[in-house]
């Protein structure tokens, strides 16, 4: 049976910002992937960046250094 695991999910106001975050994270070797935005967070742009909880500090730095406009950083239980 699949188990839910707590993940870090970054939501964005626009799809463009989500894609910019993906590009920035990939170029800086930050693991993660784009996922559909979990409905318990919101129904904004519909795309979010998902990564492990251990990457929270690096993600906050990405948002600051990369000029990424994130709506929020959330801890969500998701199926792997």
- pLDDT for 72 beyond 80: yes
**0.75 surpassed by pTM:** yes
Range 52-61, long-range pairs (CB < 8 A, 24+ positions): 52/7, 52/8, 53/6, 53/7, 53/8, 55/8, 55/30, 55/31, 56/8, 58/28, 58/30, 59/8, 59/10, 59/25, 59/30
Any domain includes 55: yes
- CATH code of the domain containing 60: 3.30.70
Q: What is the pLDDT of residues 40-66, one digit of tens each?
A: 887 567 899 999 999 999 999 988 888
Average pLDDT over residues 71-80: 91
Any domain includes 26: yes
Any domain includes 1: no
- pLDDT for 15 beyond 70: yes
- Which residues constitute the domain of residue 27? 8-72
* Number of structural domains the chain divides into: 1
């Amino acid at each position: 049976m699949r188990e839910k695991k707590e993940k870090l999910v970054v939501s964005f106001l626009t799809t463009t910002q989500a894609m910019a975050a993906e590009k920035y994270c990939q170029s800086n070797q930050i693991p993660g992937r784009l996922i559909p935005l979990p409905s318990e967070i919101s129904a904004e742009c519909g795309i979010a960046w998902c990564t492990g909880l251990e990457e929270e500090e690096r993600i906050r730095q990405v948002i600051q250094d990369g000029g990424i406009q994130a709506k929020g950083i959330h801890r969500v239980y998701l199926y792997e």
